Chain A
Amino acid sequence: MLTKRIIPCLDVKDGRVVKGVSFVNLRDAGDPVHVAQVYDREGADELCFLDITASHEKRDTILDVVIRTAEQVFMPLTVGGGIRTIEDIRRLLEAGADKVSINTAAVEHPDFVKAAANRFGSQCIVVAIDAKRATTCEGGEPGWEVFTHGGRTSTGLDAVEWGKRMKDYGAGEILLTSMDQDGKQDGYDLALTAAISESVSIPVIASGGAGTLQHLYEAFHMGKADAVLAASIFHYQTYSIGQAKSYLAQQGIPVRPGTVPVSIS
């Protein structure tokens, strides 16, 4: 049976992990590769790096991180942040990323998603949607509006309609972040997650708001998510990936068991 995925996400700036990671017994918690190895051992299902490097000159630091990660960690890796051109995607995939996540560039140039999916295949094109609750959107109905630039720029786009359009343009997956819930640790926006997941036929990753294991369960059960992205609850070792998986399994959510110590013989 296809299992639901748990995806830890690291914010990376100038090649270093920027916030919220405090692993005990980790020599360098600032090195994304070391953190990735920990999550690999714990049985994370995928990894996500969000590159928040601001300065143009240091944009290539993420490539080095991806290259080094791909040498150590053998699970799917998604990289997002600042991806604007086909060349950006090509370089990340060549470095060892499996998927790229496109956000602002998709809103500014929707055809970019089409071109990227045609060139590299839908399986590696994730469209990231940052959504906020809104009273009036495209149809005048209450709903969620798409924001860009880390939630600062309003677009006037209805998140559900946008998700459908991105699927039609060739997105293989949607990474959905609730800007209302992000950082609050009091649960995902379940109504938003369910609204998008039930409107598109591609997988949806819920993001923004995880603070407890129950929140993960709710994202799958009520939010109909196919995967959950989480940062703080794993980075501070509030819970391990293994604990999250055991809890979800007890609640009847199909998950791949956590840490399976297999020695290669």
Chain B
Amino acid sequence: MIAIIDYGMGNLRSVQKGFECVGHEAVVTRAPRVIDQASHVVLPGVGAFGDCMDNLVRFELTDVIHRSISSGKPFLGICLGYQVLFSESEEFGCHKGLGILAGKVKAIPRPSDDGEVSFKIPHMGWNTVQVNMAAPPLRGIPSDSYVYFVHSYYVEPAECALVSTETEYGIPFASSVWKDNIFATQWHPEKSQAVGLQVLKNFGDWQ
């Protein structure tokens, strides 16, 4: 069974329904016991980085996240749940992340030749991914597939070798990473129609 971690942020229902739609049972929970027993763990999330970390600490979820990842079971981070895996973010001052992966979360820069506003932030809508690495959840997803993004910050991993997909918005950035049992995406599989559902299916199938 898949455990979707509920820390009071984000549209968890869509993630759960997405898994159910492709035949995987998923529960929304913040009970460490349930998360420990799950075969797969998902950390979703939208909102601000600082609030996300505060809530993970407040609900005493950081230990069970670390434990899930070191146990080797498949772990999926989505959007903010991707960003908080890294060491730190510059969003609204500097915030420490979970530090599971090395790297920084930075504001999407405006192109230097841009006037005031023609470059829109957040990066919102459907953009393509270039697949660099055949991470198991990306099985059957070719390069140039469209997925749905909404974010104002991006991840700069310390190790380029982790970058499983790249996307361009003003600059090229790591739109997903894969390391051992961790797969994490800046984009929202639960909002990316057939492409996203395929990724959720693959993740649930991943042993």
Q: Size band of the A side of the interface?
A: 35 or more
Looking at chain A's contact residues, is the secondary structure mostly helix, strand, loop, or mixed? loop
In the bound complex, do residue A198 and residue B195 qualify as a contact, i.e. CB atoms below 8 Å apart? Answer: no
A189 at the interface (CB under 8 A from B): no
**Could you tell me the distance between the alpha carbons of A97 and B116 in the complex, rounded to whole angstroms?**
31
Nearest CB on B from A144, distance (A): 18
Given contacts A74-B14, A74-B21, contact A203 B197 (CB under 8 A): no
Encoded as 1 (CB less than 8 Å from any B CB) or 0, chain A from 246 to 265 comes to: 00000000001100101111
**Could you tell me the distance between the alpha carbons of A156 and B140 in the complex, rounded to whole angstroms?**
54
Nearest CB on B from A88, distance (A): 16
What residues on B are CB-neighbors of A67 within 8 Å?
Answer: 13
Nearest CB on B from A200, distance (A): 6
In the bound complex, do residue B11 and residue A260 qualify as a contact, i.e. CB atoms below 8 Å apart? Answer: no
In the bound complex, do residue B46 and residue A1 qualify as a contact, i.e. CB atoms below 8 Å apart? Answer: no
Nearest CB on A from B49, distance (A): 10
Given contacts A75-B148, A94-B13, A95-B13, contact A203 B125 (CB under 8 A): yes
Nearest CB on B from A41, distance (A): 9
Nearest CB on B from A118, distance (A): 8
**Could you tell me the distance between the alpha carbons of A200 and B119 in the complex, rounded to whole angstroms?**
10
Contact partner of B17 (CB less than 8 A), chosen from A71, A97, A201, is A71
Q: Which of A74, A94, A257 has the most CB of B within 10 A?
A: A74
Nearest CB on A from B57, distance (A): 18
B112 at the interface (CB under 8 A from A): no
List the B residue with the shortest CB-CB distance to A73.
B193
In the bound complex, do residue B14 and residue A98 qualify as a contact, i.e. CB atoms below 8 Å apart? Answer: yes
Given contacts A123-B46, A200-B117, A202-B120, contact A74 B193 (CB under 8 A): yes
**Could you tell me the distance between the alpha carbons of A2 and B47 in the complex, rounded to whole angstroms?**
21
In the bound complex, do residue B168 and residue A1 qualify as a contact, i.e. CB atoms below 8 Å apart? Answer: yes
A3 at the interface (CB under 8 A from B): yes
Which residues of B, 28-81, contact A by the 8 Å Cβ criterion? 46-48
Q: Which of B116, B192, B194 has the most CB of A within 10 A?
A: B194
**Could you tell me the distance between the alpha carbons of A100 and B193 in the complex, rounded to whole angstroms?**
20
Given contacts A1-B168, A71-B17, contact A226 B194 (CB under 8 A): no
Q: Which of B14, B22, B192 has the most CB of A within 10 A?
A: B14
What residues on A are CB-neighbors of B118 within 8 Å?
Answer: 198, 224
Nearest CB on A from B70, distance (A): 30
B127 at the interface (CB under 8 A from A): yes
What residues on A are CB-neighbors of B122 within 8 Å?
Answer: 122-123, 172, 202-203
In the bound complex, do residue A256 and residue B18 qualify as a contact, i.e. CB atoms below 8 Å apart? Answer: no
B96 at the interface (CB under 8 A from A): no
Encoded as 1 (CB less than 8 Å from any A CB) or 0, chain B from 12 to 25 comes to: 01100110111000
Contact partner of A173 (CB less than 8 A), chosen from B124, B192, B195, B196, is B124
Which residues of A, 74-117, contact B by the 8 Å Cβ criterion? 74-76, 93-98
Given contacts A198-B117, A202-B120, contact A260 B194 (CB under 8 A): yes
B151 at the interface (CB under 8 A from A): yes
List the B residue with the shortest CB-CB distance to A201.
B117
Nearest CB on B from A53, distance (A): 22
What residues on A are CB-neighbors of B192 within 8 Å?
Answer: 74-75
B88 at the interface (CB under 8 A from A): no
Nearest CB on B from A87, distance (A): 15
Which residues of A, 1-58, contact B by the 8 Å Cβ criterion? 1-5, 40, 43, 45
A120 at the interface (CB under 8 A from B): yes
List the A residue with the shortest CB-CB distance to B124.
A203
**Could you tell me the distance between the alpha carbons of A172 and B117 in the complex, rounded to whole angstroms?**
14
In the bound complex, do residue B11 and residue A98 qualify as a contact, i.e. CB atoms below 8 Å apart? Answer: yes
Sampled A-B contacts (19; CB under 8 Å): A1-B128, A2-B149, A45-B125, A71-B17, A71-B20, A74-B21, A74-B191, A96-B11, A97-B11, A121-B9, A121-B48, A123-B46, A123-B124, A199-B117, A203-B125, A226-B120, A227-B125, A263-B194, A264-B22
6 nearest A-B residue pairs (beta carbon): A121-B47, A262-B194, A201-B117, A256-B126, A256-B146, A96-B13
